[in-house]
């Protein structure tokens, strides 16, 4: 691929993880990133405590079903369900918002701080820097999702009983398999954010203001979610990155219902390809004047 390009006489290019590691550490050491992760960790705590207080007397759930986010009615029977409930609660807004902020800031934030020009004359290489930025945002998707899941699992184990669980289809599976499903669901949720990440990165290459890029990406996120609920636009719905997000619940069916899951993953890949290419085209041709 770029092998021939790198073989410039005399200068040895090493494709190491040095820049990625530096990028990831820099991102995770930003106060803003830590605040976002803090919010994500707090959501399952709030849900867990609220459910616990609600069912305070100890009367084992059963009633009320259908209210609130998916899975929430089962939390009192099995703490593992808090993982599913917390992911279902954060996926529509908190998780993508966190990703939108990090992705929007990725290039534009460096541009507004002026550090972008120094990275480029280092020389980081424009394609290499963009790929590193995208890899870092994807890593953040995973970290953010796992933060929610681990927090939910911890709170669930502390406040509620654990044990075998009942799938949506009514069959029973063991706790170990339940944990595997929870991990799978976390991975699918993280993968659901790939599209927002690519969109945010593209927006980030359009401006020299980190704040503007973050605000635009979060704005797009909200707009798409609203449009996705307007029935007159149903022809467009399958193309909205958020349309199949809640399909992760299908992993809790027996057998697993794959259709919407694969549609979701395919759509995310499409967004990554389209906006990734657009970001690359924009960033590699851009005059860096900041």
Partner 1 sequence: MGETSIGERPEPDAAGEGDGVIVTRSLTKRFRGGQLAVGGLDLTVPYGSVFGFLGPNGSGKTTTIRMLLGLIEPTSGTVRVLGRPMPRAARSVLPEVGALIEGPALYGFLSGRDNLLRYDAADPTSDPRTRRARVAGALERVGLTAAAGKKARAYSLGMKQRLGLAAALLRPRRLLVLDEPTNGLDPQGMREIRALIRELASDGTTVFLSSHLLDEIEQVCTHAAVMARGRLVTQGPVADLAAGARGRLVVRTPDVAEAARVLKEQGVGDVVAEEERVTGEVPGERDLADLNAALVRASVRVRGFGVERASLEDAFVALTGEGFDVAG
Asked whether position 38 contacts partner 1 by CB under 8 A, the answer is: no
Within 10 angstroms of residue 247's Cβ, the number of other Cβ atoms is 19
Report the site for partner 1 in 107-136 (rule: CB under 8 A). Answer: 113-115, 117-125, 128-129
Report the site for partner 1 in 140-199 (rule: CB under 8 A). Answer: none
Helices (H), the chain: 3-6, 18-28, 31-54, 81-90, 94-113, 115-121, 126-159, 175-192, 194-206, 210-227, 259-284
Query: How far are the Cα atoms of 50, 70, 85, 154, 181 from residue 150, in angstroms, in the given order?
Result: 18, 18, 13, 6, 14
**Is the distance from CB of 148 to CB of 229 less than 8 angstroms?**
no
Nearer to partner 1, 67 or 287 (CB): 287
Please name the residues in contact with 113: beta carbons below 8 A apart, sequence gap of 6 or more: 210
Minimum distance, C-beta of residue 14 to partner 1, in the bound complex (Å): 6
Minimum distance, C-beta of residue 143 to partner 1, in the bound complex (Å): 18
In this structure, are strands 172-173 and 165-166 parallel, antiparallel, or unpaired? antiparallel
Minimum distance, C-beta of residue 130 to partner 1, in the bound complex (Å): 13
- Tokens read off for 128: 């290499």
Minimum distance, C-beta of residue 24 to partner 1, in the bound complex (Å): 11
Report the site for partner 1 in 220-249 (rule: CB under 8 A). Answer: none
- Tokens read off for 243: 């349309």
Asked whether position 287 contacts partner 1 by CB under 8 A, the answer is: yes
| Stretch of 22-30, 177-185, 187-195, 273-281 contacting partner 1, by CB under 8 A | 22-30
Minimum distance, C-beta of residue 23 to partner 1, in the bound complex (Å): 8
Identified binder of partner 1 from the candidate list 1, 11, 59, 235, rule CB under 8 A: 11
**Is the distance from CB of 219 to CB of 97 less than 8 angstroms?**
no
Identified binder of partner 1 from the candidate list 19, 41, 101, 141, rule CB under 8 A: 19
- Tokens read off for 241: 């990155």
Asked whether position 37 contacts partner 1 by CB under 8 A, the answer is: no
Minimum distance, C-beta of residue 123 to partner 1, in the bound complex (Å): 4
* Residues near partner 1, by CB under 8 A: 3, 5-16, 18-19, 21-22, 26, 29-31, 113-115, 117-125, 128-129, 285, 287-289
């Amino acid at each position: 691929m770029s092998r021939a390009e790198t073989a410039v006489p005399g200068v040895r290019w090493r494709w190491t993880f040095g820049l990625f590691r530096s990028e990831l550490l820099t991102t995770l050491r930003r106060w803003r990133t830590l605040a976002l992760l803090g919010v994500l960790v707090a959501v399952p705590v709030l849900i867990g405590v609220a459910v616990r207080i609600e069912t305070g007397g100890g009367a084992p759930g059963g009633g009320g079903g259908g209210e609130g986010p998916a899975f929430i009615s089962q939390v009192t029977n099995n703490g593992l369900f808090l993982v599913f409930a917390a992911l279902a609660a954060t996926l529509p807004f908190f998780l993508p918002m966190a990703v939108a902020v990090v992705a929007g800031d990725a290039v534009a934030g460096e541009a507004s701080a002026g550090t972008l020009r120094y990275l480029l004359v280092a020389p980081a290489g424009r394609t290499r820097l963009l790929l590193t930025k995208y890899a870092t945002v994807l890593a953040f998707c995973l970290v953010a999702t796992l933060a929610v899941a681990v927090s939910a699992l911890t709170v669930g184990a502390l406040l509620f009983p654990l044990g075998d669980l009942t799938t949506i289809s009514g069959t029973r599976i063991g706790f170990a398999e339940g944990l595997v499903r929870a991990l799978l669901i976390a991975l699918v949720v993280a993968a659901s954010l790939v599209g927002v990440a690519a969109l945010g990165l593209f927006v980030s290459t359009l401006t020299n203001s980190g704040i503007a890029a973050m605000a635009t990406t979060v704005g797009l996120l909200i707009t798409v979610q609203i449009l996705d609920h307007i029935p007159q636009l149903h022809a467009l719905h399958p193309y909205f990155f958020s349309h199949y997000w809640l399909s992760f619940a299908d992993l809790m069916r027996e057998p697993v219902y794959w259709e919407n899951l694969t549609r979701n993953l395919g759509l995310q890949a499409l967004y990554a390809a389209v906006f990734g290419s657009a970001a690359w085209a924009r960033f590699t041709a851009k005059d860096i004047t900041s």
